[in-house]
């Protein structure tokens, strides 16, 4: 791997969701062998790094975000040797690898939690987690809700309760206990020593809880998880000041090694708050969820980009940009609607179905716009195919704990996690050779298969390849954005970055300025032509 201490400042990072990328052993569940076989395709796509969602030993109650052993691979996905092989091959292809750290909670099957259960009330083992007596025999210690629905406390046999901000199978660690810090520094070193290039840190904003675990002052039923509805200054577990000390600890471990990077998954708003997470001695990057949540509207996009560059720039950090991941409705489907369900709620067969053509058009434009922005971008597996959400998944296939904890009221996130299609005419669309698939693939995935797009001018796959190629050629990730104010109004946005002019049209048509057409979402567009609505063009200045 070439040395580059700044790789994370400009990298395009591709998220692999191991359950659904490629299945090497044919059991219907993706695995590391499958990843190894398909790595070349990511090289051809032109990404700089991969982020792996969890592949650790886990009972899979929350698709692997319930870790029972932080330093071993679940047999579902393979072995440590399989991981080493993936890492080696990725590095030989010039692709860096970051993995997921889940420090807010473990699985209830983790030996530390099992020991805590056994050791009993008041023991040092229980101090690794948050065990408390209830307000009375049947009332939990406070009113905190679980992100997945219901209460954040579960009572055990001896009457005590334990805290879980997510599922009851995911007890929260007690980050006031130095033993927890020590444990996770060990985990970081284990993987850094093995050669990983960094970590994406799960729910990075929730690790530290307010002293005494006070009640939420707002109605938990109402605000639940929505970050925009919460007052962070006063919130007892999202973005507590003490969490920054924990982050500095992670950073000092990363600094023991060369060229490593840490990215925070912190759903905190406003952006000025999020920027605190990427101060020079904290995380290198943080997902820009403000950007993800912004709809395809010229004025809103301009504002969120300006705010991001300003706020992250003020602390010397690059901005990141992201449109899709394994927790949100895929962006080509989100953008097919005027109104979409709340983050995490998902779309089921009873919800109005998306306008697929609109979603494709706007979604491709949104990506072409994003990939020209300076900073680092995240892509979610399948989006390079324009893959839509599975919006008609039947209840019997659902696995997301959100579905079960809300009695199906919120269908949850399974629709964006369906195995991706590789070959249109193969079983399971080439996900494996047996045709098994842990979630059924909808029939329209055939059209989106990689084989149906490879070498086809105007396909989404070829669009992504071209965008990534030009982005690299002009080093857009390290560039500087300047708005072309004369071309910016309520229906058009234009900016220059490193000798490339990017024009996005939101309504009507717009004439293109002179210059070589480097990339465009509008197939067959020529420089003499006009850019239609919801299309983007990159032009050499
Ligand atoms: O997600 C953190 C998080 O709080 C949300 O994205 C959440 O998934 C969503 O709001 C549910 O409605 C991270 C992981 O990305 C997610 O997959 C895990 O389920 C969660 O942490 C718990 O580990």
- The arithmetic mean of pLDDT across residues 98-127, rounded, is 98
Residue nearest to atom 16 of ligand 1 (CA): 327
Q: Kindly state the greatest CA–CA separation across the chain.
A: 76
Contacts of 231 (CB under 8 A, 6+ apart): 218
Tokens of 366: 């949104």
What confidence score (pLDDT) does residue 353 get? 98
- Percent of the chain past pLDDT 70, that is, above it, reads 97
- Ligand 1 in contact with 206 (CB < 6 A)? no
Quote the ligand 1 centre to 265 CA distance (angstroms). Answer: 9
Q: Taking 90 as the threshold, does the pLDDT of residue 268 lie above it? A: no
- The arithmetic mean of pLDDT across residues 270-275, rounded, is 88
C-alpha angle 344-348-351 in degrees, rounded to nearest 5: 105
Backbone angles phi, psi at 391, to 5 degrees: -100, 5
Regarding predicted confidence, which is higher, 273 or 298?
298
- Ligand 1 in contact with 327 (CB < 6 A)? yes
Q: How far apart are CA 169 and CA 401, in angstroms?
A: 10
Q: Taking 70 as the threshold, does the pLDDT of residue 229 lie above it? A: no
Query: Contact at 8 Å (CB) between 254 and 192?
Result: yes
What confidence score (pLDDT) does residue 18 get? 98
What confidence score (pLDDT) does residue 1 get? 86
Residue nearest to atom 8 of ligand 1 (CA): 327
Confidence band of 261 (pLDDT split at 50, 70, 90): very high
Catalytic residue from among 167, 202, 311, 383: 202
Residue nearest to atom 10 of ligand 1 (CA): 344
Quote the ligand 1 centre to 349 CA distance (angstroms). Answer: 23
b/e burial code for range 424-444 (CB count within 10 A of at least 16 → b): beeebbbbbeeeebbbbbbee
- The alpha helices in 174-275, defined as continuous H runs, are 178-194, 220-223, 243-254, 271-274
Residue nearest to atom 23 of ligand 1 (CA): 65
Query: Contact at 8 Å (CB) between 185 and 249?
Result: yes
Average pLDDT, the chain: 96
- Percent of the chain past pLDDT 90, that is, above it, reads 93
Quote the ligand 1 centre to 385 CA distance (angstroms). Answer: 24
- The arithmetic mean of pLDDT across residues 452-456, rounded, is 98
What confidence score (pLDDT) does residue 107 get? 99
* Cα dihedral 54, 16, 446, 25 sign: negative
Mutate to test the pocket of ligand 1, among 65, 228, 404 (most ligand atoms within 8 A of CB): 65
For this structure, is 202 an active site residue?
yes
Angular region, 149: left φ>0, alpha ψ -120 to 50, beta rest: left
- The arithmetic mean of pLDDT across residues 196-214, rounded, is 97
Whole-model pTM: value is: 0.97
- Ligand 1 in contact with 203 (CB < 6 A)? yes
- Ligand 1 in contact with 202 (CB < 6 A)? yes
Mutate to test the pocket of ligand 1, among 199, 202, 326, 398 (most ligand atoms within 8 A of CB): 202
- Ligand 1 in contact with 62 (CB < 6 A)? yes
- Ligand 1 in contact with 146 (CB < 6 A)? no
Q: Taking 90 as the threshold, does the pLDDT of residue 233 lie above it? A: no
Confidence band of 497 (pLDDT split at 50, 70, 90): very high
Q: Taking 80 as the threshold, does the pLDDT of residue 226 lie above it? A: no
Which ligand 1 atom lies nearest to the CA of residue 345?
Answer: 12
The 3-state DSSP class for residue 492 equals strand
Q: Taking 80 as the threshold, does the pLDDT of residue 454 lie above it? A: yes
Mutate to test the pocket of ligand 1, among 70, 102, 147, 264 (most ligand atoms within 8 A of CB): 147
- The arithmetic mean of pLDDT across residues 167-181, rounded, is 98
Residue nearest to atom 9 of ligand 1 (CA): 344
Q: How far apart are CA 200 and CA 99, in angstroms?
A: 6
Q: Cβ atoms within 10 A of the Cβ of 337, count?
A: 18
Q: What is the pLDDT of residues 73-97, one digit of tens each?
A: 999 999 999 999 999 999 999 999 9
Catalytic residue from among 182, 215, 231, 256: 256
Confidence band of 269 (pLDDT split at 50, 70, 90): confident
Question: Is the omega angle on the peptide bond into residue 270 within 30 degrees of 0, that is, cis?
Answer: yes
């Amino acid at each position: 791997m070439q040395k580059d201490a700044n790789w994370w400042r400009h990298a395009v990072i591709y998220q692999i969701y191991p359950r659904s990328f490629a299945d090497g052993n044919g059991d219907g569940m993706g695995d590391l062998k499958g990843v190894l076989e398909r790595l070349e395709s990511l090289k051809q796509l032109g990404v700089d790094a991969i982020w792996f969602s969890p592949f650790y030993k886990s009972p899979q109650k929350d698709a692997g975000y319930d870790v029972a052993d932080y330093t071993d691979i679940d047999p579902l996905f393979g072995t440590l040797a399989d991981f080493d092989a993936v890492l080696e091959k990725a590095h030989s292809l010039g692709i860096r690898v970051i993995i997921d750290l889940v420090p807010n909670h473990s699985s209830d099957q983790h030996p530390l939690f099992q020991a805590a259960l056994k050791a009993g009330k008041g023991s040092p083992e229980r101090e690794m987690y948050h065990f408390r007596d209830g307000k009375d025999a049947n009332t939990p210690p406070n009113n905190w809700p679980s992100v997945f629905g219901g209460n954040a406390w579960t009572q055990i046999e001896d009457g005590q309760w334990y805290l879980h901000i997510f599922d009851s199978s995911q007890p929260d660690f007690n980050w006031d206990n130095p033993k927890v810090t020590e444990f996770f520094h060990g985990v970081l070193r284990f993987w850094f020593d093995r050669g990983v290039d960094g970590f994406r840190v799960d729910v990075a904003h929730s690790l530290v809880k307010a002293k005494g675990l006070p009640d939420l002052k707002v109605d938990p039923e109402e605000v639940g998880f929505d970050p925009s509805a919460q007052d962070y200054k006063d919130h007892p577990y999202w973005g507590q000041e003490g969490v920054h000390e924990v982050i500095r600890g992670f950073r000092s471990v990363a600094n023991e090694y060369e060229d490593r990077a840490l990215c925070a998954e912190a759903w905190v708003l406003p952006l000025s708050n999020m920027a605190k997470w990427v101060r020079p001695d904290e995380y290198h990057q943080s997902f820009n969820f403000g950007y993800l949540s912004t709809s395809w509207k010229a004025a809103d996009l301009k504002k969120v980009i300006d705010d991001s560059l300003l706020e992250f720039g003020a602390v010397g950090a690059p901005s990141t940009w992201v449109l899709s991941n394994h927790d949100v409705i895929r962006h080509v489907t989100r953008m097919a609607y005027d109104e979409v369900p709340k983050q995490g709620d998902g779309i089921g067969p009873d919800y109005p179905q998306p306008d697929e053509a609109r979603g494709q058009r706007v979604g491709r434009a949104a990506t072409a716009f994003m990939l020209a922005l300076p900073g680092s971008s995240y892509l979610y597996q399948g989006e390079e195919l324009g893959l839509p959400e599975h919006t008609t998944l039947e209840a019997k296939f659902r696995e997301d704990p959100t579905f079960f904890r809300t009695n199906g009221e919120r269908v949850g996130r399974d629709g964006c996690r369906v195995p991706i299609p590789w070959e249109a005419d193969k079983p399971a669309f080439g996900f494996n050779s047996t045709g098994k698939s842990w979630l059924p693939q909808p029939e329209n995935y055939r059209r989106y298969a990689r084989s149906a797009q490879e070498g086809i001018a105007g396909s989404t796959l070829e669009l992504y390849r071209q965008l990534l190629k030009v982005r690299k050629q002009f080093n857009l990730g390290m560039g500087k954005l300047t708005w072309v104010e004369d071309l910016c109004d309520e229906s058009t946005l234009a900016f220059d970055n490193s000798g490339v002019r990017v024009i996005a049209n939101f309504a009507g048509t717009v004439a293109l300025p002179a210059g070589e057409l480097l990339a465009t979402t509008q197939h067959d567009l020529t420089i003499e032509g006009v850019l239609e609505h919801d299309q983007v063009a990159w032009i050499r200045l």
